Structure 1
Amino acid sequence: MNLKQTTHSFVMGIIGLGLIAPASSFADTLGPYVSAMGGLNWVADQDLNQNDLDFVEMQYNQPLHSGYATGLALGWGLPIGLRPELELSYRKNTLTQFNHRVYEGGGSIDGEGKEEASSLMANLWYDVSNLPAPLNRVTPYVGGGLGYAVLTISGLEAGGVQFGNSHRDTVPAYQLGAGVGFELAEHWSMSLDYRYFKTREAHFGDIQNLPQGDVKTEYKAQSLMLGLRYWL
């Protein structure tokens, strides 16, 4: 099953939950909860730097072809509107092209490879609750988080030249986010979630078939996801 089919099935399942939810069973979204989320992930075109020189730019496929984000979270809704949360997430995108190739005199070339970011984040969200009817089942939120990410690039290839297997580093990361939650039934809610995610500079060391020198990069991504939350 591809990403589009999986997302469609997930959305239809959530809609089904909303249709069968009894109108009188909505509960306050307070206390502990667990959640799962998934959706699309956009990665900004990304420079590789060596010896203080941006020597190539990596360009990525569009999300509907290759980019996705998933996550699991454990949190606690407080009466004052704050919602601390621990989140484990995974992002993956595939490369389509290498641009501004300084070592080859410039220009672009089709390429292959993938980039993955696995992260553990401590988030703090603020829920805007108790909206008047007919929005009383809707809860907008804003916030952000700090943590660490394992950034991995692998399978890099261009013009028949391979650049090693996998290269990874663990780096500090932060994210900003906003979204809206919707109560489905007692204990259940869904959400539409936006994230801006960024890491500090990752160091991959020497890379095969490149001049010697530590290869560095920064990761920036935006994610749009659907979430399903269960209040314990």
Structure 2
Amino acid sequence: MKKYLLLAAAGLAVASPAAARDGAGYIGLEGGILFPNNTDVDVNVTADGETIADENNAFEIDYNTGYDIDLVGGYDFGMFRLEAELGLKRSSLDDVDVDDSVLDAINDEFDLYLTQDDLDLGGHARVMSGMINGLVDLGNENGVNGFLGAGIGLAGVKYSAFGDSDSDSAFAWQLLAGVRTPISENIDLGLKYRYFHTGDLHFNDSFDFDDVTFGGRLSGHYSSHSLLASLVYNFGAVAAAPPPPPPPPPPAAPATQTCADGSVILATDACPLPPAPPPPPPPANSGERGR
């Protein structure tokens, strides 16, 4: 099922457009279901300083489903985001499966009759981590945002079982994939998949038995899958650019007038004067009328 969750989240990330808030900081809270992988543990046992047992994968720790919560804060540079993450993972311990040869050696060494049924842990494992993540956004700014990324940091792992507890810290890395979508100008909702893995963890203990000091060194790493819902607040989201102003109206046509001669001129101009009438004909000769 964990592989299907990874494929689903990665598929959504590749197929979806994006809704990142470029050039803005953000802070978010994430929480969801934790699926720890079984932990194979190497064992080294000494008696008065001399090694009496050195076994790889001597036993396996099984976990129940737990929870994973994180606080993230970062900055969106555009297609790339950089964020810091504080995380807490917790799950109860189911049981421990000890290799039969190791269990036989323990029974022979201490004259015991332990069986697998006697090894119900009844405790829990807690992981606190600080990580720096780099994320690549896929898509555009107006819809669902897919992303892929990875992170590195430091993890502190504490086991509590058999009425005792022990802890160690180690380098950690993780792979991330998910989707998120805006529900308001500043708030995004999201779904994230995480694969988390620590470096080697070492737990040391010693005890006295039958006048012999025994030392034990347990080594292993912690890894898990998580499916998380997220709520992210974006600071200073850039407002949408206002629409451009409408173009100015064309200038009004100037007023005109039509003159008597049929010409059209500006209303502020004067029409041309009409042509002068022709001169009257000269008068007739009076002497000629008398004859």
TM range (shorter): 0.7 to 0.9
**TM-score normalised to the size of structure 2?**
0.61
| Aligned counterparts of 2:147 and 2:20: Cα–Cα separation in 1 | 15
Gaps of 5+ in 2: 1-18, 45-53, 105-113, 236-291
**TM-score normalised to the size of structure 1?**
0.76
Gaps of 5+ in 1: 1-26
Determine the structure 2 residue equivalent to 1:169: 168
| Aligned counterparts of 2:40 and 2:131: Cα–Cα separation in 1 | 25
Report the number of matched residues: 190
| Aligned counterparts of 1:153 and 1:111: Cα–Cα separation in 2 | 10
Question: Given the alignment of the two structures, is residue 39 of structure 1 paired with residue 32 of structure 2, yes or no?
Answer: yes
Higher strand share: 1
> Aligned to 2:116, which of 85, 96, 108?
108
Deviations 1:78-106 (A, max 9, x none): 12x10000000010111111113443239
Residues 207 and 186 of structure 1, relative CA distance in 2, 3 Å threshold: farther
Question: Given the alignment of the two structures, is residue 94 of structure 1 paired with residue 92 of structure 2, yes or no?
Answer: yes
| Aligned counterparts of 1:209 and 1:228: Cα–Cα separation in 2 | 52
AA partner of residue 130 (structure 1): N
> Aligned to 1:50, which of 43, 46, 50?
43
Identity of aligned residues (%): 30
Please list, as runs of the form range in 1=range in 2, the aligned pairs for 1:66-85 lying within 5 A after superposition: 67-79=66-78, 81-85=79-83
Determine the structure 2 residue equivalent to 1:198: 197
Residues 28 and 40 of structure 1, relative CA distance in 2, 3 Å threshold: closer
| Aligned counterparts of 2:197 and 2:165: Cα–Cα separation in 1 | 21
Please list, as runs of the form range in 1=range in 2, the aligned pairs for 1:133-172 lying within 5 A after superposition: 136-154=142-160, 156-157=161-162, 162=163, 165-172=164-171
Determine the structure 2 residue equivalent to 1:213: 216
> Aligned to 1:60, which of 59, 63, 66?
63
Q: CA deviation at 1:76?
A: 0.5
User: What's the C-alpha RMSD, in Å, of the aligned pairs?
Assistant: 2.1
Contact kept in structure 1, 2:20 and 2:140, CA below 8 Å: no
Greater Cα shift, 51-60 or 182-191:
51-60
AA partner of residue 173 (structure 1): A
AA partner of residue 154 (structure 2): Y
Residues 129 and 231 of structure 1, relative CA distance in 2, 3 Å threshold: same
| Aligned counterparts of 2:131 and 2:157: Cα–Cα separation in 1 | 14
Deviations 1:47-83 (A, max 9, x none): 221124222211112x2xxx0000001101112x100
Q: CA deviation at 1:34?
A: 0.2
| Aligned counterparts of 1:207 and 1:171: Cα–Cα separation in 2 | 22
Deviations 1:17-73 (A, max 9, x none): xxxxxxxxxx86121000000000011111221124222211112x2xxx0000001
| Aligned counterparts of 1:99 and 1:215: Cα–Cα separation in 2 | 14
Determine the structure 1 residue equivalent to 2:139: 129
